[in-house]
Structure 1
Protein backbone atom coordinates (compact mmCIF):
# COMPACT_ATOMS: atom_id res chain seq x y z
CA UNK A 1 0.00 0.00 0.00
CA UNK A 2 1.38 3.40 -0.98
CA UNK A 3 2.00 5.84 1.83
CA UNK A 4 0.80 9.44 1.81
CA UNK A 5 2.48 12.53 3.22
CA UNK A 6 0.77 15.71 4.39
CA UNK A 7 2.88 18.66 5.53
CA UNK A 8 1.90 22.03 6.99
CA UNK A 9 -1.82 21.39 6.50
CA UNK A 10 -4.86 22.25 8.57
CA UNK A 11 -7.71 19.75 8.77
CA UNK A 12 -10.88 21.26 10.17
CA UNK A 13 -14.27 19.77 11.12
CA UNK A 14 -13.65 16.42 9.41
CA UNK A 15 -15.46 13.28 10.58
CA UNK A 16 -13.11 10.27 10.52
CA UNK A 17 -15.20 8.34 13.09
CA UNK A 18 -15.19 4.57 12.68
CA UNK A 19 -12.96 4.87 9.60
CA UNK A 20 -9.55 3.40 8.93
CA UNK A 21 -6.65 5.64 8.04
CA UNK A 22 -3.37 3.85 7.28
CA UNK A 23 0.14 4.47 5.94
CA UNK A 24 -0.13 8.22 6.21
CA UNK A 25 2.41 10.65 7.62
CA UNK A 26 1.36 14.03 8.95
CA UNK A 27 4.14 16.57 9.57
CA UNK A 28 3.47 19.91 11.24
CA UNK A 29 -0.29 19.57 10.69
CA UNK A 30 -3.16 20.93 12.74
CA UNK A 31 -6.44 19.13 13.39
CA UNK A 32 -9.31 21.34 14.60
CA UNK A 33 -12.76 20.06 15.65
CA UNK A 34 -12.16 16.67 13.99
CA UNK A 35 -13.85 13.45 15.07
CA UNK A 36 -11.62 10.36 15.19
CA UNK A 37 -13.79 8.40 17.65
CA UNK A 38 -13.55 4.64 17.13
CA UNK A 39 -11.35 5.18 14.08
CA UNK A 40 -8.33 3.02 13.28
CA UNK A 41 -5.21 5.19 13.22
CA UNK A 42 -2.81 2.24 13.23
CA UNK A 43 0.42 2.50 11.26
CA UNK A 44 0.27 6.27 10.79
CA UNK A 45 2.85 8.83 11.86
CA UNK A 46 2.10 12.21 13.37
CA UNK A 47 5.11 14.51 13.82
CA UNK A 48 4.94 18.04 15.32
CA UNK A 49 1.13 18.04 15.05
CA UNK A 50 -1.53 19.79 17.14
CA UNK A 51 -5.02 18.48 17.86
CA UNK A 52 -7.55 21.09 19.09
CA UNK A 53 -11.10 20.28 20.21
CA UNK A 54 -10.87 16.82 18.65
CA UNK A 55 -12.50 13.56 19.77
CA UNK A 56 -10.19 10.54 19.56
CA UNK A 57 -12.07 8.38 22.07
CA UNK A 58 -11.68 4.63 21.57
CA UNK A 59 -9.47 5.12 18.49
CA UNK A 60 -7.05 2.27 17.71
CA UNK A 61 -3.40 3.33 17.92
CA UNK A 62 -1.51 0.14 17.03
CA UNK A 63 2.03 1.13 15.98
CA UNK A 64 0.94 4.77 15.57
CA UNK A 65 3.76 7.30 15.78
CA UNK A 66 3.01 10.25 18.06
CA UNK A 67 6.09 12.47 18.02
CA UNK A 68 5.99 15.89 19.67
CA UNK A 69 2.18 16.11 19.67
CA UNK A 70 0.02 18.71 21.43
CA UNK A 71 -3.50 17.80 22.45
CA UNK A 72 -5.58 20.84 23.46
CA UNK A 73 -9.18 20.54 24.69
CA UNK A 74 -9.47 17.01 23.27
CA UNK A 75 -11.51 13.99 24.33
CA UNK A 76 -9.14 11.00 24.49
CA UNK A 77 -11.14 8.49 26.51
CA UNK A 78 -10.22 4.81 26.51
CA UNK A 79 -7.09 5.15 24.36
CA UNK A 80 -4.38 2.50 24.56
CA UNK A 81 -1.26 4.63 24.14
CA UNK A 82 0.82 1.59 25.10
CA UNK A 83 0.17 0.21 21.59
CA UNK A 84 1.83 3.24 19.96
CA UNK A 85 5.24 3.18 18.34
CA UNK A 86 7.78 4.05 21.06
CA UNK A 87 10.28 5.77 18.74
CA UNK A 88 10.37 9.52 19.65
CA UNK A 89 7.03 9.10 21.47
CA UNK A 90 6.23 12.46 23.10
CA UNK A 91 3.08 14.43 23.81
CA UNK A 92 1.67 17.20 25.96
CA UNK A 93 -1.93 17.56 27.08
CA UNK A 94 -3.89 20.68 27.97
CA UNK A 95 -7.55 20.69 29.08
CA UNK A 96 -8.07 17.10 27.90
CA UNK A 97 -10.21 14.18 29.05
CA UNK A 98 -8.01 11.06 29.19
CA UNK A 99 -10.23 8.93 31.43
CA UNK A 100 -9.81 5.13 31.15
CA UNK A 101 -6.72 5.42 28.95
CA UNK A 102 -3.52 3.43 29.37
CA UNK A 103 0.15 4.36 29.08
CA UNK A 104 1.63 1.06 30.31
CA UNK A 105 5.41 0.76 29.68
CA UNK A 106 5.61 4.15 27.93
CA UNK A 107 8.30 6.79 28.44
CA UNK A 108 6.59 10.08 29.25
CA UNK A 109 9.59 11.98 30.62
CA UNK A 110 8.91 15.72 30.95
CA UNK A 111 5.32 15.32 29.73
CA UNK A 112 2.94 18.09 30.79
CA UNK A 113 -0.63 17.29 31.78
CA UNK A 114 -2.42 20.60 32.42
CA UNK A 115 -6.07 20.86 33.56
CA UNK A 116 -6.76 17.25 32.52
CA UNK A 117 -9.11 14.56 33.72
CA UNK A 118 -7.18 11.28 34.12
CA UNK A 119 -9.73 9.17 35.97
CA UNK A 120 -8.83 5.47 36.07
CA UNK A 121 -5.90 6.05 33.71
CA UNK A 122 -3.24 3.34 33.94
CA UNK A 123 0.36 4.53 34.32
CA UNK A 124 1.76 1.14 35.40
CA UNK A 125 5.44 0.67 34.52
CA UNK A 126 5.48 4.14 32.95
CA UNK A 127 8.43 6.52 33.12
CA UNK A 128 6.93 9.82 34.27
CA UNK A 129 10.15 11.34 35.57
CA UNK A 130 10.09 15.14 35.46
CA UNK A 131 6.46 15.07 34.28
CA UNK A 132 4.10 17.78 35.51
CA UNK A 133 0.50 17.14 36.48
CA UNK A 134 -0.91 20.65 36.85
CA UNK A 135 -4.45 20.92 38.22
CA UNK A 136 -5.42 17.40 37.11
CA UNK A 137 -7.97 14.93 38.51
CA UNK A 138 -6.26 11.55 38.99
CA UNK A 139 -9.16 9.69 40.66
CA UNK A 140 -8.39 5.96 40.70
CA UNK A 141 -5.39 6.38 38.36
CA UNK A 142 -2.96 3.45 38.66
CA UNK A 143 0.73 3.90 39.43
CA UNK A 144 2.50 0.56 39.91
CA UNK A 145 6.25 0.13 39.29
CA UNK A 146 6.21 3.58 37.73
CA UNK A 147 9.12 6.01 37.67
CA UNK A 148 7.85 9.14 39.38
CA UNK A 149 11.21 10.74 40.11
CA UNK A 150 10.93 14.54 40.24
CA UNK A 151 7.33 14.28 39.00
CA UNK A 152 5.21 17.23 40.12
CA UNK A 153 1.74 16.38 41.48
CA UNK A 154 1.45 19.39 43.84
CA UNK A 155 -1.51 21.17 42.23
CA UNK A 156 -3.40 18.00 41.27
CA UNK A 157 -5.96 16.05 43.27
CA UNK A 158 -7.25 12.55 44.02
CA UNK A 159 -3.96 10.79 43.32
CA UNK A 160 -2.82 7.83 45.36
CA UNK A 161 0.10 5.48 44.89
CA UNK A 162 2.18 3.18 47.03
CA UNK A 163 5.64 4.76 47.55
CA UNK A 164 7.14 1.28 48.04
CA UNK A 165 5.94 0.13 44.59
CA UNK A 166 7.23 3.13 42.61
CA UNK A 167 10.46 5.07 42.18
CA UNK A 168 9.69 8.36 43.91
CA UNK A 169 12.99 10.16 44.57
CA UNK A 170 12.28 13.88 44.41
CA UNK A 171 8.54 13.46 43.69
CA UNK A 172 6.63 16.63 44.52
CA UNK A 173 3.28 16.21 46.30
CA UNK A 174 1.06 18.50 48.34
CA UNK A 175 0.72 17.89 52.07
CA UNK A 176 -3.04 17.31 51.56
CA UNK A 177 -2.25 14.26 49.42
CA UNK A 178 -0.18 12.44 52.01
CA UNK A 179 -3.17 10.37 53.14
CA UNK A 180 -3.46 8.88 49.63
CA UNK A 181 0.21 7.93 49.67
CA UNK A 182 -0.09 6.19 53.01
CA UNK A 183 -3.35 4.40 52.21
CA UNK A 184 -1.89 0.87 52.33
CA UNK A 185 -0.70 1.38 55.90
CA UNK A 186 -4.22 2.02 57.18
CA UNK A 187 -3.19 5.07 59.20
CA UNK A 188 -5.79 7.22 60.91
CA UNK A 189 -4.77 10.73 59.93
CA UNK A 190 -6.41 13.60 61.78
Structure 2
Protein backbone atom coordinates (compact mmCIF):
# COMPACT_ATOMS: atom_id res chain seq x y z
CA UNK A 1 0.00 0.00 0.00
CA UNK A 2 1.09 3.52 -0.73
CA UNK A 3 -0.62 5.97 1.58
CA UNK A 4 0.38 9.62 1.28
CA UNK A 5 0.31 11.55 4.54
CA UNK A 6 0.62 15.07 3.20
CA UNK A 7 1.25 17.08 0.04
CA UNK A 8 5.04 17.11 0.27
CA UNK A 9 5.56 13.37 0.61
CA UNK A 10 2.89 12.24 -1.85
CA UNK A 11 5.32 11.91 -4.74
CA UNK A 12 7.57 9.52 -2.81
CA UNK A 13 4.99 6.84 -3.53
CA UNK A 14 5.56 6.99 -7.30
CA UNK A 15 7.42 3.71 -7.63
CA UNK A 16 4.55 1.77 -6.02
CA UNK A 17 1.94 3.66 -8.01
CA UNK A 18 3.71 2.91 -11.27
CA UNK A 19 2.43 -0.64 -11.22
CA UNK A 20 -1.15 0.41 -11.91
CA UNK A 21 -0.81 4.00 -13.12
CA UNK A 22 1.11 2.84 -16.17
CA UNK A 23 -0.69 -0.46 -16.49
CA UNK A 24 2.60 -2.35 -16.14
CA UNK A 25 5.56 -2.54 -13.81
CA UNK A 26 8.16 0.13 -14.51
CA UNK A 27 11.65 0.39 -13.07
CA UNK A 28 12.37 4.04 -13.78
CA UNK A 29 10.98 7.20 -12.15
CA UNK A 30 7.78 8.40 -13.77
CA UNK A 31 8.03 11.53 -15.94
CA UNK A 32 5.50 13.45 -13.85
CA UNK A 33 7.38 12.99 -10.57
CA UNK A 34 7.76 16.31 -8.75
CA UNK A 35 10.57 17.49 -6.55
CA UNK A 36 9.97 18.46 -2.94
CA UNK A 37 10.15 22.16 -3.80
CA UNK A 38 7.74 21.79 -6.70
CA UNK A 39 5.23 20.09 -4.43
CA UNK A 40 5.46 22.97 -1.97
CA UNK A 41 4.71 25.49 -4.72
CA UNK A 42 1.49 23.80 -5.79
CA UNK A 43 -1.51 25.96 -4.88
CA UNK A 44 -4.63 24.83 -3.08
CA UNK A 45 -7.62 24.55 -5.44
CA UNK A 46 -9.83 27.62 -5.60
CA UNK A 47 -13.28 27.05 -4.10
CA UNK A 48 -16.36 27.00 -6.33
CA UNK A 49 -18.27 30.28 -6.59
CA UNK A 50 -22.00 29.63 -6.48
CA UNK A 51 -24.73 32.24 -6.85
CA UNK A 52 -27.17 32.81 -4.00
CA UNK A 53 -29.90 31.78 -3.93
CA UNK A 54 -29.81 28.77 -6.21
CA UNK A 55 -32.83 27.81 -8.26
CA UNK A 56 -34.43 24.42 -7.73
CA UNK A 57 -33.76 21.99 -10.56
CA UNK A 58 -36.74 19.99 -11.75
CA UNK A 59 -36.78 16.96 -14.01
CA UNK A 60 -37.51 16.56 -16.87
CA UNK A 61 -37.17 20.33 -17.40
CA UNK A 62 -33.51 20.32 -16.33
CA UNK A 63 -32.59 16.84 -17.50
CA UNK A 64 -29.26 16.43 -19.28
CA UNK A 65 -29.47 16.85 -23.03
CA UNK A 66 -27.14 17.60 -25.93
CA UNK A 67 -25.84 21.18 -25.92
CA UNK A 68 -27.75 21.86 -22.71
CA UNK A 69 -26.64 24.75 -20.47
CA UNK A 70 -27.55 24.76 -16.77
CA UNK A 71 -26.74 27.70 -14.50
CA UNK A 72 -27.42 28.53 -10.87
CA UNK A 73 -29.37 25.37 -10.04
CA UNK A 74 -29.44 22.91 -7.14
CA UNK A 75 -30.11 19.29 -8.03
CA UNK A 76 -31.25 17.42 -4.92
CA UNK A 77 -31.95 13.71 -5.17
CA UNK A 78 -32.04 13.89 -8.97
CA UNK A 79 -31.72 10.80 -11.15
CA UNK A 80 -29.37 11.49 -14.06
CA UNK A 81 -28.29 7.91 -14.58
CA UNK A 82 -27.46 6.24 -17.90
CA UNK A 83 -27.60 9.40 -20.00
CA UNK A 84 -25.66 9.79 -23.25
CA UNK A 85 -25.00 13.49 -23.73
CA UNK A 86 -22.76 15.69 -25.86
CA UNK A 87 -21.65 19.21 -24.92
CA UNK A 88 -23.65 19.72 -21.71
CA UNK A 89 -22.46 22.60 -19.51
CA UNK A 90 -23.05 23.17 -15.79
CA UNK A 91 -22.08 26.47 -14.20
CA UNK A 92 -22.69 27.61 -10.63
CA UNK A 93 -24.63 24.44 -9.73
CA UNK A 94 -24.83 22.20 -6.67
CA UNK A 95 -25.63 18.49 -6.79
CA UNK A 96 -26.77 16.75 -3.59
CA UNK A 97 -27.47 13.00 -3.42
CA UNK A 98 -27.70 12.99 -7.21
CA UNK A 99 -26.81 10.01 -9.40
CA UNK A 100 -24.85 10.18 -12.66
CA UNK A 101 -24.18 6.43 -12.54
CA UNK A 102 -23.48 4.92 -15.93
CA UNK A 103 -23.88 8.20 -17.82
CA UNK A 104 -21.66 8.87 -20.84
CA UNK A 105 -20.58 12.46 -21.45
CA UNK A 106 -18.55 14.03 -24.23
CA UNK A 107 -17.29 17.62 -24.31
CA UNK A 108 -19.03 18.33 -21.00
CA UNK A 109 -18.09 21.24 -18.77
CA UNK A 110 -18.45 21.69 -14.99
CA UNK A 111 -17.52 25.17 -13.72
CA UNK A 112 -18.07 26.41 -10.15
CA UNK A 113 -19.85 23.20 -9.17
CA UNK A 114 -20.30 21.31 -5.89
CA UNK A 115 -21.16 17.62 -5.69
CA UNK A 116 -22.11 16.25 -2.26
CA UNK A 117 -22.86 12.59 -1.54
CA UNK A 118 -23.40 11.87 -5.22
CA UNK A 119 -23.06 8.65 -7.20
CA UNK A 120 -20.76 8.92 -10.22
CA UNK A 121 -19.97 5.22 -10.41
CA UNK A 122 -19.21 3.93 -13.91
CA UNK A 123 -19.74 7.40 -15.34
CA UNK A 124 -17.56 8.08 -18.38
CA UNK A 125 -16.46 11.40 -19.86
CA UNK A 126 -14.20 12.27 -22.77
CA UNK A 127 -12.77 15.60 -23.87
CA UNK A 128 -14.51 17.20 -20.89
CA UNK A 129 -13.40 19.39 -18.00
CA UNK A 130 -13.84 20.51 -14.41
CA UNK A 131 -12.89 24.00 -13.18
CA UNK A 132 -13.38 25.07 -9.55
CA UNK A 133 -15.25 21.90 -8.60
CA UNK A 134 -15.55 20.24 -5.18
CA UNK A 135 -16.69 16.62 -4.96
CA UNK A 136 -17.19 15.34 -1.42
CA UNK A 137 -18.33 12.08 0.22
CA UNK A 138 -19.29 10.69 -3.18
CA UNK A 139 -18.98 7.31 -4.87
CA UNK A 140 -16.73 7.35 -7.93
CA UNK A 141 -16.18 3.60 -8.37
CA UNK A 142 -15.26 2.83 -11.96
CA UNK A 143 -15.64 6.46 -13.06
CA UNK A 144 -13.50 7.17 -16.14
CA UNK A 145 -12.52 10.60 -17.48
CA UNK A 146 -10.31 10.30 -20.58
CA UNK A 147 -8.50 13.16 -22.31
CA UNK A 148 -10.02 15.60 -19.84
CA UNK A 149 -8.77 18.71 -18.01
CA UNK A 150 -9.03 19.45 -14.29
CA UNK A 151 -8.22 22.81 -12.71
CA UNK A 152 -8.87 23.89 -9.11
CA UNK A 153 -10.62 20.62 -8.28
CA UNK A 154 -10.96 18.90 -4.89
CA UNK A 155 -12.01 15.28 -4.39
CA UNK A 156 -12.68 14.92 -0.66
CA UNK A 157 -13.49 11.69 1.21
CA UNK A 158 -14.62 9.84 -1.91
CA UNK A 159 -14.66 6.14 -2.70
CA UNK A 160 -12.83 5.97 -6.01
CA UNK A 161 -11.67 2.40 -6.59
CA UNK A 162 -10.94 1.53 -10.24
CA UNK A 163 -11.16 5.20 -11.21
CA UNK A 164 -9.54 6.24 -14.49
CA UNK A 165 -7.99 9.49 -15.74
CA UNK A 166 -6.07 8.32 -18.83
CA UNK A 167 -4.43 11.06 -20.93
CA UNK A 168 -5.89 13.79 -18.67
CA UNK A 169 -4.21 16.91 -17.29
CA UNK A 170 -4.43 18.40 -13.82
CA UNK A 171 -3.69 21.79 -12.30
CA UNK A 172 -4.21 22.67 -8.63
CA UNK A 173 -6.07 19.42 -8.03
CA UNK A 174 -6.21 17.62 -4.68
CA UNK A 175 -7.36 14.12 -3.76
CA UNK A 176 -7.95 14.13 0.00
CA UNK A 177 -8.88 11.18 2.21
CA UNK A 178 -9.97 9.17 -0.83
CA UNK A 179 -9.95 5.39 -1.26
CA UNK A 180 -8.38 4.87 -4.69
CA UNK A 181 -7.10 1.30 -5.12
CA UNK A 182 -6.15 0.40 -8.69
CA UNK A 183 -6.62 3.95 -9.98
CA UNK A 184 -5.52 4.35 -13.60
CA UNK A 185 -3.56 7.51 -14.47
CA UNK A 186 -1.98 6.14 -17.64
CA UNK A 187 -0.24 8.92 -19.62
CA UNK A 188 -1.89 11.59 -17.44
CA UNK A 189 0.00 14.77 -16.53
CA UNK A 190 0.01 14.72 -12.73
CA UNK A 191 2.37 17.62 -12.14
CA UNK A 192 -0.54 19.62 -10.73
CA UNK A 193 -1.92 16.88 -8.45
CA UNK A 194 -1.54 16.34 -4.71
CA UNK A 195 -2.64 13.23 -2.83
CA UNK A 196 -3.43 13.76 0.84
CA UNK A 197 -3.99 10.72 3.06
CA UNK A 198 -5.25 8.63 0.13
CA UNK A 199 -5.31 4.85 -0.16
CA UNK A 200 -3.55 4.10 -3.46
CA UNK A 201 -2.96 0.42 -2.84
CA UNK A 202 -2.64 -2.06 -5.68
CA UNK A 203 -5.38 -4.38 -4.46
CA UNK A 204 -8.92 -3.00 -4.32
CA UNK A 205 -10.92 -3.28 -1.15
CA UNK A 206 -13.95 -5.48 -1.60
CA UNK A 207 -15.88 -4.38 1.47
CA UNK A 208 -19.23 -2.70 0.98
CA UNK A 209 -19.42 1.05 0.50
With the shorter chain as reference, the TM-score category is 0.5 to 0.7
- CA separation of 1:153 and 1:64: change in aligned 2, threshold 3 A: closer
1:49-64 equivalence runs, <5 A: 49-64=73-88
Aligned partner of 1:110 among 132, 149, 168:
132
Cα deviation, 1:92-116, whole Å, max 9, x if unaligned, reads 2111001111222212133111111
Aligned partner of 2:150 among 120, 128, 144:
128
> Which residue is 1:151 aligned to?
173
Q: 1-side partners of 2:64 and 2:192: how far apart?
A: 39
Tell me the TM-score normalised to structure 2 length: 0.60
> Which residue is 2:50 aligned to?
none
Shift of 1:144: 1.2
- CA separation of 1:143 and 1:133: change in aligned 2, threshold 3 A: same
The answer to whether residue 68 in structure 2 is matched with residue 44 in structure 1 is: yes
* Structure 1 segments unaligned to the other structure (5+ residues): 1-27, 184-190
Which structure is higher in RCO with an 8 Å CA cutoff and minimum separation 6?
Answer: 2
Q: 2-side partners of 1:35 and 1:77: how far apart?
A: 17
On the 8 A contact 1:150/1:169 being kept in 2, the answer is: no
The answer to whether residue 89 in structure 2 is matched with residue 76 in structure 1 is: no
Q: 1-side partners of 2:81 and 2:129: how far apart?
A: 21
Cα deviation, 1:22-80, whole Å, max 9, x if unaligned, reads xxxxxx53126x579xx763343211111001111113433333222211111111122
On the 8 A contact 2:181/2:201 being kept in 1, the answer is: no
Cα deviation, 1:117-152, whole Å, max 9, x if unaligned, reads 011111222212331110001111112122233321
Cα deviation, 1:145-182, whole Å, max 9, x if unaligned, reads 222333211211125446672212242214663545xx
> Which residue is 1:168 aligned to?
190
Q: 2-side partners of 1:172 and 1:107: how far apart?
A: 18
* Structure 2 segments unaligned to the other structure (5+ residues): 1-53, 204-209
Tell me the TM-score normalised to structure 1 length: 0.65
State the aligned residue count: 148
- CA separation of 1:62 and 1:50: change in aligned 2, threshold 3 A: same
> Which residue is 2:56 aligned to?
30
